[in-house]
């Protein structure tokens, strides 16, 4: 990881779940890191710099322009990520992913640096083909309750790729699939922290739908390794890359595994499925393998164990 040594890296959304893991990895690689966050879903930084001057932070909403330090690389992770959060204020979700991304674009152009944009597998919507390839156009309901996130992330991709074409900007887009790991918030409504919190309290796990829908969960350590590779490889300018773990599991299998790990004997409860919830999600990662020389290392069974400290979930309350 010599690449990151003494680089100045701005991480927008660095106080969030993936952000804090990314910031720690950058600090470990001897980068200077500047975190920008409005702390809407993020929390106090729990990272360990090697020396006091290695890390700075700025409380700021990226929807507003700001003076941000010169950066070699910017990671733009700032966006609500769980349906609960992005649907609670859809207009703010739009502003963050459009205005906020525009401000990050202005900054990277001024710095002549590299921007790594956190996009999402949600750009594929309820996919028509499996596994999803970067060339798929997606199947998104533009007026559904999830559209504020899916469509604003799609629009941000369009904006950034236009900037690559017209301004020669060095932008790389990560289409991140479901990521999990220590530090997720129990109240953010995502399946794994929800299940872990319920099972750790001996309560019934609640599943939306019949549990046959699949997801491909990638451990946060693998997601961060891929983001770092995407920020540093020489020939990734203008590339869009799926980052995820291609092993598909059903939601019911996850609930059963979590119950077994916690010794939770409570039954599983089934509740109505949210509107536009995708039935299948699985990344084709052949491009990430080729371009980044990356492949996920953590199996789901091993990864889920990192969520537990003895009989408690290592989640934020
Ligand atoms: N976790 C996943 O499974 C997943 C999957 C696909 C894509 N992503 C993307 O990765 C990124 C990080 O996701 P996460 O799971 O860490 O989410 P998170 O909610 O934990 O972190 C997002 C961070 O962005 C900050 N933020 C939100 N709006 C902001 C604004 N307007 N200005 C400044 N800061 C703002 C929040 O306070 C938080 O610290 C997001 O862009 C998300 O869309 C995540």
In a domain, 289, yes or no: yes
CATH number (domain holding residue 11): 3.40.50.720
Residues identified as active-site? 149
**pLDDT by residue for the chain (317 residues), tens digit each?**
799 999 999 999 999 999 999 999 999 999 999 999 999 999 999 999 999 899 999 999 999 998 889 999 999 999 999 999 999 999 999 999 999 999 999 999 999 999 999 999 999 999 999 999 999 999 999 999 999 999 999 999 999 999 999 999 999 999 999 999 998 887 777 888 889 889 888 999 999 999 999 889 999 999 999 999 999 999 999 999 999 999 999 999 999 998 988 889 888 999 998 888 888 889 999 999 999 999 999 998 888 888 766 445 566 65
- The residue range of the domain holding 74 is 2-182+218-245+278-297
Instruction: Note whether residue 206 is domain-resident.
Output: no
- With respect to residue 137, please indicate whether it lies within any of the assigned structural domains: yes
Has residue 188 been placed in a domain? no
Question: Exposed, middle or buried, 123 (CB in 10 Å: 0-12/13-18/19+)?
Answer: buried
What is the best residue among 17, 34, 80, 81 to mutate for testing ligand 1's pocket, by most ligand atoms within 8 Å of CB?
81
3-state secondary structure of 205: strand
For residue 89 the two structure tokens come to 């204020």
pLDDT score at 313: 57
132 CB under 6 A from ligand 1?
no
The verdict on residue 140 lying in a domain is yes
Residue 209: inside a domain:
no
Environment class of 272 (CB within 10 Å of its CB; exposed 0-12, middle 13-18, buried 19+): exposed
Nearest atom in ligand 1 to the alpha carbon of residue 184 is: 20
Confirm whether 205 is domain-assigned. no
Q: Is 245 in the pocket of ligand 1 (CB under 6 A)?
A: no
Counted domains in the chain:
1
Q: Which atom of ligand 1 is nearest to the CA of 220?
A: 1
Ligand 1 atom 22: residue of nearest CA: 16
Domain assignment present for 71: yes
């Amino acid at each position: 990881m010599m690449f990151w040594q003494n680089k100045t890296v701005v991480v927008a959304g660095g106080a969030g779940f993936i952000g804090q893991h990314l910031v720690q990895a950058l600090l470990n690689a001897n980068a200077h890191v500047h975190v920008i966050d409005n702390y809407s879903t993020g929390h106090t930084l729990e990272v360990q710099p090697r020396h006091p001057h290695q890390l700075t932070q700025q409380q700021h909403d990226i929807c507003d322009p700001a003076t941000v330090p010169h950066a070699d690389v910017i990671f733009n992770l700032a966006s609500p990520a769980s349906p609960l959060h992005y649907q609670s204020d859809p207009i703010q979700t739009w502003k963050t992913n459009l205005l906020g991304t525009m401000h990050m674009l202005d900054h990277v152009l001024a710095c002549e640096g590299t921007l790594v944009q956190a996009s999402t597998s949600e750009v594929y919507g309820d996919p028509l083909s499996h596994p999803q390839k970067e060339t798929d156009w997606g199947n998104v309901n533009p007026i559904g309750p999830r559209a504020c996130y899916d469509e604003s992330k799609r629009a941000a991709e369009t904006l950034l790729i236009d900037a690559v074409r017209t301004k020669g900007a060095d932008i790389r887009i990560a289409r991140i699939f479901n990521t999990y790991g220590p530090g997720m918030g129990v109240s953010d409504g995502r399946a794994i922290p929800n299940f872990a919190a319920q099972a750790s309290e001996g309560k019934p796990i609640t599943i939306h739908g019949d549990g046959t829908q699949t997801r491909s969960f990638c451990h946060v350590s693998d997601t961060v390794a891929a983001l770092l590779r995407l920020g540093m490889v020489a020939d990734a300018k203008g590339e869009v890359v799926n980052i995820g773990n291609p092993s598909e599991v059903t939601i019911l299998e996850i609930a059963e595994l979590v119950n077994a790990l916690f010794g939770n004997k409570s039954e599983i409860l089934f509740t109505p499925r949210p509107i536009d919830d995708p039935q299948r999600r699985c990344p084709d990662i052949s491009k990430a393998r080729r371009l980044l020389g990356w492949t996920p290392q953590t199996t789901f069974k091993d990864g889920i164990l990192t969520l537990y400290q003895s009989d408690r979930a290592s989640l934020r309350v």
